[in-house]
Structure 1
Amino acid sequence: MPLPVEAVLFALIGLLAAAAALVLVPEYYPMSRGLTIGTALVSALLSGLVIRFTLAGGEPAATLVMTAICTGLLTSVPARPDLAAQHGSHRRHRRHAA
């Protein structure tokens, strides 16, 4: 598979990882969405290129799977579960005593 096609697939993997992180656990990412999306895109492109050249472009399916795994792991780096635990989930509705 040509490198430009794989680069587009790597970018799609990064966007999907960012979307999944922001939709599934948004309380873990209190910073701007741009940081999460940028982290996912850069990690997908870099890990995809490193894996592609490490495997010598042999198996595209293995390259994409390994890129998705690395992107998921690296996208979790800016996550802040400690802050989410302190402030509680934004999905919980608290009742205030009157």
Structure 2
Amino acid sequence: MVLETIAFVLIGLAVGSGALVLLPAYFPAARSLTLATAVVAALIGGGISGYALDDHLPALALLFSAITSALLVSVLARPDLLTGTGRHRHA
């Protein structure tokens, strides 16, 4: 269980860092918020999937951890601010 937790944290850090490196303009909030969201989402997603799968398929729990982390980090993305006007693009 300890190794899975470390793997979930590493997955969260990879997802958060990847989002910040690949799409820096989409995340105007603090970098620590994006990284913390990714790590917490990976821990929660991995924990719930590990519990639901009864720890029989750790590879699937790692996959669900990455998916959960990516989905919750995408909530922080603000593509509407890319124009630089600060307004919503549909306003």
Computing the radius of gyration over CA atoms, which structure comes out larger, 1 or 2? 1
1:71 alignment partner AA? S
Please name the residue that 1:81 is paired with. 79
TM-score by length of 2: 0.89
Runs of 4+ in 1 over 4 A off after TM superposition: none
For 1:31 and 1:67, locate their aligned partners in 2 and report how far apart those are by CA, in whole Å. 23
C-alpha displacement of 1:70 = 1.4
Any stretches of 5+ residues in structure 2 without a counterpart?
86-91
Please say if 1:46 is aligned against 2:44. Answer: yes
Structure 1 residues not aligned, in runs of 5+:
89-98
Q: List per-residue Cα deviations over 1:8-63 (Å, max 9, x = no partner).
A: 00000000001110001000001110110010011011111001001110111111
Identity %: 44
The size of the alignment, in residue pairs, is 85
- Once the two structures are superposed, the pairs formed by residues 57-96 of structure 1 within 5 Å of their partners are 57-84=55-82, 86-87=83-84
SS across alignment from 1:18 = helix
Distance between the aligned counterparts of 2:60 and 2:51, measured in 1? 12
TM-score by length of 1: 0.83
Report the equivalent of 1:18.
Answer: 16
Cα distance in 2 for residues equivalent to 1:67 and 1:45: 7
The root-mean-square deviation of aligned C-alpha atoms, in Å, is 1.2
Any idea what SS the aligned residue of 2:76 has? Answer: coil
